[in-house]
Structures are given as C-alpha cells and as structure tokens.
Structure 1
Amino acid sequence: MRIRRALPTELAAVGDLTVAAYAPFVDGPEDPYTHHLRDAARRDREAELWVATDEDGRLLGTVTTCPVGSPWREIAADDEGEFRMLAVAPDAQGQGVGDALVAHSVAVSRRRRHRAVVLSSLRTMAAAHRVYQRQGFRRTPERDWAPLPGVDLITFARDLEE
C-alpha cells in the first residue's frame, strides 16, 4: 500500500469513494452532506487530500489533513493537527487501510510539531472508533459538539508528546 497526495485526475474518484464509504451514515444522495463528501477537489484546494493505493494504483481510501488556517479545521487548536473524512472503499475495509491512513495523519502532525491530533466522528461509526483506539486516540467528551441540530459529533485526541 502507498499513501500519497491525491492527483488532480483522481479527485472525482476520491469523491465517489468517500460517498460510498459514508453511505451507511447519511440519508441518501439527497443528504446535503453527500455533496460535501463528494467535493474532493475543494478538500484538495483548501486542505491536504491524501489517498491510499494498492500496488496497481487502485484507490483504497482517503483522508483529509487540515493544516492551520484551513477552513476544514473544526476543533483543533493551533498546536494540534486534525484530520477529517477518513474513508475506505467498501471492498477494501478490514484490510488495514484505515489504520494506515490514521498513522499517516499522525505522522503529518508529528512533522508539523503539533502536540496532539484531534478529530470528530459520528457516534455510529464504531469501526472507525476501533481504528482510532488502536492508534492511541482517547475519547474527549468535553470537546463533543454539533455542527447542525441532530448531528452530534464525538471527539478523539492523541497526544504526540510521548
């Protein structure tokens, strides 16, 4: 598996992969968040869009890291890294892709000398929560929040000063 920045020619496919991975958690194609998930080009412009590929170049997953100043940051302080929209292609789930993308996001934050990495997640994303816990993240309920009524997000953090 290789993790690298997404190529311009892959942005539509990355958007489709993200929508497919999040399908169990949205209210169908008309859910406003689906458009947000599909807009990989905007994530690539305003943050850092990473992809995991297999040896043949097939897209397996994606994650967006959010540098300081990015409008994609939601909960991070300036000395914290943040990542969003971790998505693994449905046919690649359970193969370590999510773990590799989270580890990569942590490495990005370490290179930036952040003291921690934070993220938000839907309460129902149990498989993702297991990945975060394996990667050393802990729940931070004091940071839980709701971007919209009825959309309650839980948060996780991992200290990097270890």
Structure 2
Amino acid sequence: MDIVIRPAEPGEYATLGEITAEAYLGDGLLDFGESDAYLGELRDVAKRAAAAEVLVAVAEGRVLGGVTFVPRGGAMADISGPGEAEIRMLAVARAARGRGAGEALVRACIERARAVEGCVRVVLSSQRTMRAAHRVYERLGFVRSPQRDWNPLPDLDGLLLITYELTL
C-alpha cells in the first residue's frame, strides 16, 4: 500500500478529527472520556490548520491518520522554544495501524523542520502509555528529554506528559 503524506484538505477535516478523537479515546488517553474538553480540540482540525500545518496520510483514497506540525511557536505550540519545531496530535486510525502511516507522518514533519530556516530541533509530548509511538520516535532518532516533561492540567495529578526531541 502506497502511503502519501500531504497537507489536509478542508473536506478531510471532519474525518481526521474523528480519527484523532477515536484514537485518543480508544487508547484510553483521555481521562474523562467523551466529556473531556481536550476531545473538542482533537476534533477541531480547522482550528489547528489555521495556526499550524496539518498533514494527512492517505492510501487508496482514504485518510489513514494525521499530525499537526508546528514549525515555529504560535498558538499550537506547547513546549517548543526558539529554533524548535513541534509535532502534535499524531493519530492513525485503528484499522490502519502497523502499516507505516504514523512513521511516514513523523518523517514528513522531520523533513519540514529541516526546511525551516533556523530550526535545530524537533520536540514532542507524549503520554507514557503511547508505547508504539515511542518506538517510532526512538527508531527515527528522537531521545527522551525528561527535563521538559510537563503536566497540561496541574490540578490533575498523574497526567505527566513525557517529551522527546530530535536534534537536526
């Protein structure tokens, strides 16, 4: 199966939003299920696309997954600083997992980061339970950066996001 990585088109936003929400819900990554406020953020691909670059993995005319690439700061950045690009909201449909779509999306972000003038590093946050994603990141050269680990909801103990970085 040939996987093509390209910018998401507006007609694909709803599909990608559902893939992303289902991936996070199905993998138990949202603490409050359907009532989790972050679920709305995951579904709002149009908002992400207005502030960053949203890429999709497509094969045989179907969207398999997507990622948000933040080339330099702005509203979509969580942990990136000067000279850093950030990868956010990587998700692949359950039925499409294990076929290389996630890795292809991460590789596309790395390539884009290399094309950003002054970019020296790619950073990302992940949950501890996202072990398959961690294997992809490590295979591509990312290393853990525990000094950057953070909690997006300080009032909620135990929601520590772990971080990775790749020096370009």
Secondary structure at the residue paired with 2:77?
A: coil
- The answer on 1:35 being equivalent to 2:40 is yes
Aligned residues: 159
* Displacement of 1:31: 1.2
Match of 2:113 in 1: 109
Match of 1:15 in 2: 17
Larger displacement relative to structure 2 (28-37 or 100-109) = 28-37
- Listed as ranges, the matches of 1:1-162 within 5 Å are 1-23=3-25, 24=27, 25-26=29-30, 27-54=32-59, 56-113=60-117, 114-149=119-154, 150=157, 151-160=159-168
Q: For residues 68 and 80 of structure 1, what CA distance do their matches in structure 2 show?
A: 6
Partners of 2:71 and 2:84 within 8 A in 1: no
* Displacement of 1:67: 2.4
Percent of pairs with identical residues = 48
Secondary structure at the residue paired with 2:21?
A: helix
Secondary structure at the residue paired with 1:75?
A: coil
Q: For residues 16 and 82 of structure 2, what CA distance do their matches in structure 1 show?
A: 28
TM-score normalized by structure 1?
0.94
Larger displacement relative to structure 2 (68-77 or 131-140) = 68-77
* Displacement of 1:104: 0.5
TM-score normalized by structure 2?
0.91
Amino acid at match of 1:155: T
* Displacement of 1:132: 0.4
Cα RMSD (Å) = 1.0
Secondary structure at the residue paired with 2:18?
A: helix
How far does the alpha carbon of each residue in 1:126-146 deviate from its partner, in whole angstroms, 9 at most, with x for none?
111111001100000011111
Secondary structure at the residue paired with 2:81?
A: coil
Amino acid at match of 1:103: R
Structure 2 residue ranges without an equivalent (≥5): none
Amino acid at match of 2:141: G
Q: For residues 33 and 150 of structure 2, what CA distance do their matches in structure 1 show?
A: 23
